Each structure stands twice: as structure tokens, then as C-alpha cells.
Structure 1
């Protein structure tokens, strides 16, 4: 059991995960920034599409690049919650109160989950720092949506600001991530090598 808490919780090549997550977050933030329509309908559409795509992609990448079973489950649950929030955002009639409640519930749940992943990983990987940063930012976003002015322009603008901040953090974190992951495929043990290669060669009889 000690191996679970000392081995690297991620595989080599994990840096692609935060970079993809960051790009997925920055894309809808750009849509909100350059759109003159900051209506509730736009907010729910952008959040819904982003959440569904992000949930599916992050869930798949978690299964591929996370080694630690507990952390893998944390991100799998986070991905499912994100996808469900996205689906609800897309199918429910646009309503400001619903959007705010949905985003607060999603941000609180997924933020705490990512914080737990960072705490569980500890110093075993530098990715834990990014999990703590993004988890903290997402949990703080839940509080921000509670106290921000209750009008469509402010709420949709805050959503765009959150996405661009988290997106930049993730991309920078991915680019600066150290190669401290576990190898994707373990090397073949030496004892499995061909025993004939080390066997002494007998001299032919003269």
C-alpha cells in the first residue's frame, strides 16, 4: 500500500492534459469577450457547450494519464459533474437565476474535488500545484457568483473572466510541468531476458 502514496500519480506526457483543458477554457472566454450579446441565453449556451466538451475530454484524459486510483476517480467524478452541468445548461430554458445556481453548485463541487486531488498528490508531482491553484480559483468563483451583481451582463462577464483566468493558469502550468510522471509502459525486467544471451559458450572439442 505504501507504493500508492509514493509513486508518481501521473504518466509521462501528462502535460497535454492541462494544456488541452486550458485551450478548452480560453476558447469560450474569447467568444464571450468579443460578443456584444451578454444575455443569459449566450451564457447558458457557452457554458453548456464548454462543460459538455470539457467533461468528456477531461474524463477520457484522466483515464489515460492518471495512475493514482484515487486521483483518477476524483477527476472522473469531476468530469461527470461538469458534463451533467453542461447538459442541464443546454436543455433548460435560459434563466438568470438558474444559470447562477447551476454555476455556483458546479464550481463549488468541482473546485473542492480538484483541491482534494492536489492535496492527495502532495509533493509526488508538480501537477499538484496546478490542481490546487485551479481548484482554489474554481471554489472562489462559486463565492464570486454569490456576491456579484445579479444582472446578465455581470454574470456572463464573470463567467468569461473565470474561464480565461483558469485557461491561462492551465496552459502555463502544462508548459512548465516537470517530467515527473511514471512511464507509460514499464520496462521489461532483466530476469525476463533471454538466458541464452548470458550463458557461457563452450569451446569446441579439438
Structure 2
């Protein structure tokens, strides 16, 4: 049985999800980059605010625009986890435990959960989705952030700086992937592929 692929209209809608995610990731990256304060409190505040907004917006967009069921539920699940992690981070910034340990633990748990989900979803979708390689790359990058936060002894400046660097790379990666999807969707399908209901190889 032939593997179902995304249609051009579905790709044209779905490209907004990574582009919005990428644009949102660059905002906290800029805040961290241009801030002289790299304290855990700043890290929790910036990560928390970004995670709440990005989780809600990206999850809602994915639920509406992503056609593939696996991709849709993985994106929605990651949106929920991200928003929840953001709320936890914002709560921790006002407590006595808002040291580097609270910051690295919150980010590490979030990155491990969302990175693994995105990586596995990308691997599962690699034969039927044009966005699979971007899911795999973003998931691997996020999982790597979790490993770094867990395995390396990080001081506050390094930990917050690493989060900023991660968000820059993620944002650029998602923007490139999203616009690539848009341009691919705009390409005309060959007559033979259109007639058979498949994309040309």
C-alpha cells in the first residue's frame, strides 16, 4: 500500500508552524544576548515567558494547521509541555530556590521531554513528511541541550548563555525549514504525479 504524503495545500499551511516557532525563539535569544544580567532569575524569567507564549501559540497553530495526525499530536503535546515548563519557571523565579540548580533542572527536564518527542516524531514521519528532517534536527538539538545541562557543571552565566545560544540556533533552523516548506509547496506538481495522486520522485 502506498504511503500517504502531505498534499501541497497542507504543506502551504503547515509552514507557518516552524516559522512562528523560529521567530518566537529569536526574541528571548536577543534578550539574553543583549542583557548584562545572566543570573538564574533572568534565565527563569526569560525561559518562562518564552515557553508559555511559544507553547500556547505553536500548539494552537499545530492543532489547526498540521494535517498529519502523528505530527499534530506531537506538536500539541510539546506545546503543552513547553507551556507547563514556562509556568513552573516563572513560579520558581520568585522563590528561595531560584538558583542555577532550579534553572538548569527546569530547562533540562523540558528539553529532554520535548526533544525526545520531536526527534521520535521526525523519525516516524521521515517517509511521508517534508518537514521530518527539521523535526529530527530540532529534536536532536533540544535533546543535546538537555544532556549538556545534566552532564556539565554549569555556572549561572554559562547556563543562561547556553540557553540563549540554543534559542538562536533553533530559531534559525526553524525559519529555514519553514520557508523551505513554503517554497516547496509553491512548486508546481508534474502532470504525472498529479494524475496518480503522488509527488514526483
TM-score category (smaller protein): 0.7 to 0.9
Output the aligned Cα RMSD: 1.7
SS in 2 for 1:124: coil
Structure 1 residue 7: Cα displacement: 3.2
Which protein is richer in helix relative to its size? 2
Match of 1:88 in 2: 88
Match of 1:7 in 2: 5
Structure 1 residue 42: Cα displacement: 0.4
Match of 1:99 in 2: 103
SS in 1 for 2:13: coil
**Structure 1 residues without counterparts, runs of 5 or longer:** 181-206
**Structure 2 residues without counterparts, runs of 5 or longer:** 187-201
Structure 1 residue 14: Cα displacement: 1.5
- Using the alignment, how far apart are the partners of 1:123 and 1:65 within structure 2? 20
Residue correspondence of structure 1 range 130-169 to structure 2 within 5 A: 130-169=134-173
Correspondence 1:126 to 2:124 = no
Residue correspondence of structure 1 range 166-185 to structure 2 within 5 A: 166-177=170-181, 178-179=184-185
CA 1:161–1:148: 2 relative to 1, 3 Å: farther
- Using the alignment, how far apart are the partners of 1:153 and 1:91 within structure 2? 21
Structure 1 residue 11: Cα displacement: 4.3
- Using the alignment, how far apart are the partners of 1:15 and 1:7 within structure 2? 15
Q: Is the 8 A contact 1:71 1:120 kept in 2?
A: no
Residue correspondence of structure 1 range 67-86 to structure 2 within 5 A: 67-86=67-86
Deviations 1:121-158 (A, max 9, x none): 12322211100000000001101112334211010001
Residue correspondence of structure 1 range 51-70 to structure 2 within 5 A: 51-70=51-70
4+ residue runs over 4 A deviation: none
Structure 1 residue 13: Cα displacement: 2.2
Match of 1:27 in 2: 27
Q: Is the 8 A contact 1:51 1:85 kept in 2?
A: yes
TM-score by length of 2: 0.83
Say how many residue pairs are matched.
Answer: 178
SS in 1 for 2:38: coil
Structure 1 residue 70: Cα displacement: 2.3
**Which structure is larger by alpha-carbon Rg, 1 or 2?**
1
Structure 1 residue 87: Cα displacement: 0.1
